[in-house]
């Protein structure tokens, strides 16, 4: 297994839509054809979110496309998948989720050096419209400054 693994699927909308408070790295419980599809880069976490149920964390709406070379056994593309976290982390997330306005969003899906699929998740709070406008303004200002610097 090479250490330079190109699989790095990001959720770019998450940082625009939410204030990121805490970050965690979780393992994912996957079947055989699911990990093969992820290694081919056939996954999306754009509309995914996480829920805490019965002391376990699950990711919902994560799309993993069916593996083309599989015979009769195929996984469901949008099935709930269990995330592997420590009990303390789960308790902390569950406590925050009971507070209004918090959610758990996936930030990045990647394959680590050992060849295991990992998911970076974050405890986040939704942004208001004026916060989003402020972020866009800062982004435009930074782009303008970079353009001016490039000219000189």
What pLDDT does 4 receive? 61
**Closest residue by Cα to residue 108 from 31, 17, 44:** 44
What does the pLDDT read at residue 2?
46
What does the chain look like in DSSP terms, one character per residue? --S----EEE-THHHHHEEEEEEEEEEE---HHHHHHHHTT-EE-TT-EEEEETTEEEEES-EEPPPTT--S----TT--EEEE--HHHHHHHHHHHTSTTEEEEEEEEEE-TTS-EEEEEEEEEEPPHHHHHHHHHHHHHHHHHHHHHHH-
Domains of the chain: 8-126 (2.40.280.10)
Below-70 pLDDT ranges, the chain: 1-5, 70-72
pTM: 0.75
pLDDT of residue 28: 92
* pLDDT for residue 26: 92
User: Residue 119's pLDDT is what?
Assistant: 92
pLDDT of residue 5: 64
Looking at residue 130, its pLDDT comes to 77
């Amino acid at each position: 297994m090479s250490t330079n693994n190109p699989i790095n699927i990001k959720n770019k909308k998450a940082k625009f839509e939410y204030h990121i408070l805490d970050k965690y790295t979780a393992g994912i419980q996957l079947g055989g054809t699911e990990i093969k599809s992820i290694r081919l880069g056939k996954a999306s976490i754009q509309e995914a979110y996480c829920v805490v149920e019965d002391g376990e964390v699950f990711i919902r709406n994560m799309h993993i496309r069916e593996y083309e070379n599989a015979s009769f056994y195929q996984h469901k593309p949008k099935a709930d998948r269990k995330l592997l976290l420590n009990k303390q982390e789960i308790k902390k997330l569950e406590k925050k989720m009971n507070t209004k306005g918090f959610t758990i969003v996936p930030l990045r899906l990647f394959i680590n050096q050992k060849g295991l699929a990992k998911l970076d998740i974050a405890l986040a709070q939704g942004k208001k419209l004026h916060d989003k406008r402020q972020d866009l303004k800062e982004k435009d200002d930074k782009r303008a400054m970079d353009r001016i610097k490039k000219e000189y």
